[in-house]
Amino acid sequence: MRVELTINGAARALDVEPRMTLVDCLRDVLGLTGTHVGCEHGACGACTVLVDGVPARACLMFAVQAEGYAITTIEGLTHTRGALSPLQDAFCATHAMQCGFCTPAMILTAHALLAENPAPTRAQIVAAISGVICRCTGYAQIVEAIALAAERARAPAPGTR
């Protein structure tokens, strides 16, 4: 089935089976492997992408349903090759990851949170990321990264910490 998707600002015309999920389409058809598959039943959140700027699970959406929405993946956050966004940099500053498998989903979720709420409280950060499961970190350094990114955006300061 013919479908036109808008991925990270670019229009992509593809031919997919209706049963292909958005995450499989991103990964297997478009080669955007930064979006990860953890459970395929909407429980772990590893496949989170932004649909019109809002986090959504790409395993719970068929690619054919995604037509007409602006889909943002982790690849869409780095505009310059080799340069991280301030949020991604904050994740590195606090070592907000270990294996890196849930990391793109966490970062996209945090990206959407900060776009809507530039000064979230700890509780708001926790609530925002609670739909994405991380098995490695116990979340503390993720929460700290998001708070750090928010703080830096409010008072941009050079250097790290």
Judged by CB under 8 A, the chain residues 116 through 145 that form the site for another protein are: 125-143
| Contacts of another protein in 3-22 (CB under 8 A) | 17-21
Contacts of 140 (CB under 8 A, 6+ apart): none
Whichever of 116 and 119 has its CB closer to another protein, that residue is 116
Query: Going by DSSP bridges, is the β-strand pair 2-7/70-72 parallel, antiparallel, or unpaired?
Result: parallel
In angstroms, what is the minimal distance from the CB of 122 to another protein? 8
Sign of CA dihedral 127, 128, 133, 136: negative
Residue whose C-alpha is closest to residue 146's, from 65, 51, 124: 124
Stretch that binds another protein, among 6-14, 27-35, 148-156 (CB under 8 A): 27-35
Positions 67 through 96 that interact with another protein (CB under 8 A): 67-68, 73-75, 77-78, 84, 88-89, 91-96
Q: Which amino acid is at 142?
A: I
Nearest distance, CB of residue 41 and another protein, angstroms: 4
Exactly one of 5, 7, 107, 150 binds another protein (CB under 8 A); that residue is 107
CB of 160 to another protein, least distance (A): 8
**What's the number of CA atoms in the CB half-sphere (13 Å) around residue 11?**
4
Question: Computed from CA positions of residues 28, 25, 87, 85, in that sequence, does the dihedral angle turn out positive or negative?
Answer: positive
- Residue 130's Cβ-side half-sphere holds a number of Cα atoms within 13 Å equal to 7
Number of residues located near another protein, criterion CB under 8 A: 82
The SS3 of residue 32 is: coil
If the CB atoms of residues 89 and 151 are measured against another protein, the closer one turns out to be: 89
**Residue 65 makes contact with another protein by CB under 8 A:** yes
Selected range binding another protein among 7-15, 26-34, 150-158, rule: CB under 8 A: 26-34
